Amino acid sequence: MRKECKTAIKVNVGHIQGYHGNEWSGESYAFHGFPTNEYFNSDRTEPTAVVDGKLVRLDKKTGLPSGLPMETVGLEVEVECNGIVKLEALSAIAEHILFPNFKYGDRMFKMQHDGSLGGATSVEIITQPMTIAKIRNDYPAWKAMFEYMRKFDMSADSYDTDCGMHVNLGVDLFGKTEEEQKENLRKLYFLINNRYKFFRTLFWRNQYATNWCLRMTEENIANHMLNWCDDRSLASELDYHNAKSLDFDRVTSSHHACLNYSHFDAGRIEIRLVGGQRDFDCFRETMECIFWIVKRIPDLSWDDLDDLVKVFKGCNEYVMNRLAICVFNYGLTQTDFDKLSRACKIARYDID
């Protein structure tokens, strides 16, 4: 005899926050907008608070700012959900199928409807700030989530859709002092813009879906990124050719720029050039490319930035897999690739 279900499954539609960009949604982006502020370390969470607009780690005993660095990564994964028509259904799938794969999953994610995507229930899956170790430790969970997403016709692929994956990086990843952080972020600004097509391929961004992550040239800034500089006369200063003198106090937000440095004072910057990820393998390779660049930038001189062999020397096999699709197309020759292959480190993050 069939046992009747007496308790209905409770669905937290609160996972689906307001429409993308609505004023009433408040601090709903990146590291803000969660019911509680937490910092997701490799195998635990730590309390945080927003002090003077910046997320800071708190001492568990005293509840006061600890002064420890916030070496954080936060993801905004755009997903088109053409097979799901009700927010309640999407929320139930997220709450009971997608997020339980992760330790702390229901506290680590929130979802926000994004009207720029197709599908009535298309969303951005937004994370709390995490360490690089946390993401790597959770690779099996990310693999499961991407597999479930595909089963429910939830696509995050920039080559099938216009989806992207914005990666927020804590400025503490780039140095111990503000001076070091700004210098290394200037180098990142130059590296990505100088080889824009190369990094677009490395980060899996569809070449036909770059309106929201353009190269920062004087022309693009003047014509497309009006929010990037309030004064059009500043466009020439913000051109990537002038990266060495980039003034962080004179840049403002732009959703058309491949890099967004307007949140530097809040302790983070955003790489917007990253494309939507077709599956877990793609996701892992993209994240490893970003982790490598973040690690490598402080050790590179300005002259080194022109030499891709120096930039990627010693990278792991996942980065090499992505570099392989850049050979011949965007400045990486077969000779360069062979040199890198011989120096390639064996990755320690294989879950297959």
DSSP, residue by residue, 114-140: -TTSSSTT-EEEEEPPB-HHHHHHTHH
Q: Answer yes or no: is 165 within a domain.
A: no
Percentage of the chain lying above the pLDDT 70 cut: 88
Count of domains in the chain? 2
Question: Is residue 306 pLDDT above 80, yes or no?
Answer: yes
DSSP, residue by residue, 59-98: -TTT-SB-------EEEEEEEEETT---HHHHHHHIIIII
pLDDT in tens, 42-59: 999 999 988 887 889 999
Give the predicted TM-score (pTM) of the model.
0.90
Range among 10-14, 66-70, 151-155 with highest mean pLDDT value: 66-70
Domain C-terminal end among 132, 156, 180? 156
Phi, psi (deg, nearest 5) at residue 235: -55, -40
Same domain (yes/no): 204, 259: yes
What mean pLDDT, rounded, does the chain reach?
85
Confidence class for position 23, pLDDT limits 50, 70, 90: very low
**pLDDT of amino acid 9:** 46
**pLDDT of amino acid 66:** 93
| Short-list 285, 274, 321, 16, CA closest to 143 | 285
| Short-list 250, 252, 256, 251, CA closest to 219 | 256
Mean pLDDT on 97-125: 84
Distance CA 109, CA 142 (A): 12
pLDDT in tens, 128-147: 999 999 999 999 999 999 99
**pLDDT of amino acid 144:** 96
Q: Answer yes or no: is 55 within a domain.
A: yes
**pLDDT of amino acid 142:** 97
pLDDT in tens, 204-222: 998 888 888 999 999 999 8
Provide the β-strand partners of residue 65.
Answer: 58
pLDDT in tens, 251-280: 887 889 999 998 899 899 999 999 999 999
pLDDT in tens, 139-175: 999 999 999 998 888 888 877 777 899 999 999 999 9
Q: Answer yes or no: is 4 within a domain.
A: no
The answer to whether 182 touches 205, Cβ cutoff 8 Å, is no
Distance CA 304, CA 302 (A): 5
- Provide the residue range defining the domain that includes 68: 13-156
Q: Answer yes or no: is 253 within a domain.
A: yes
Same domain (yes/no): 33, 128: yes
Question: Is residue 1 pLDDT above 60, yes or no?
Answer: no
Percentage of the chain lying above the pLDDT 90 cut: 52
Residue 298, helix vs strand vs coil: helix
Same domain (yes/no): 125, 269: no
Q: Answer yes or no: is 70 within a domain.
A: yes
Same domain (yes/no): 69, 137: yes
Domain C-terminal end among 101, 130, 156? 156
Question: Is residue 196 pLDDT above 70, yes or no?
Answer: yes
33 φ/ψ sector (left φ>0, alpha ψ -120 to 50, else beta)? left
**pLDDT of amino acid 29:** 47
Q: Answer yes or no: is 348 within a domain.
A: no
H-run or E-run covering 144: helix 139-151
